Amino acid sequence: MVWAILLLIFVFVVGALMKIPEISREEIHNNQQKMKIKWIHIKSQFSSNELHPNC
């Protein structure tokens, strides 16, 4: 379930970037950093909750 949500988010981000080619590389890089921070935060939340991987 969790992986399906993450996959949807990934597809949405990629689609948005493909639709908006005029975004500067700097903005894309900043967004990637934000996504990494969010991803680390999400992973730490899940590991602290000790959810089952097949959730």
* Helices of type H across the chain: 2-19, 25-49
39-48: long-range contacts (C-beta < 8 A, 24 or more apart)? 46/2
Q: What percentage of the chain reaches a pLDDT higher than 90? A: 0
pLDDT at 50 over 70: no
Q: Could you tell me the pLDDT band of residue 15, with boundaries at 50, 70 and 90?
A: confident
Domain residue limits, the chain: 1-51
Task: Of 9-13, 25-29, 51-55, give the range with the top mean pLDDT.
Answer: 9-13
User: How far is the C-alpha of 24 from the C-alpha of 45, rounded, in Å?
Assistant: 32
Q: Helix (H, G, I), strand (E, B), or coil: what is residue 55?
A: coil
pTM for the complete prediction?
0.33
Could you identify the residue written with the tokens 């894309």? 28
Q: Could you tell me the pLDDT band of residue 28, with boundaries at 50, 70 and 90?
A: confident
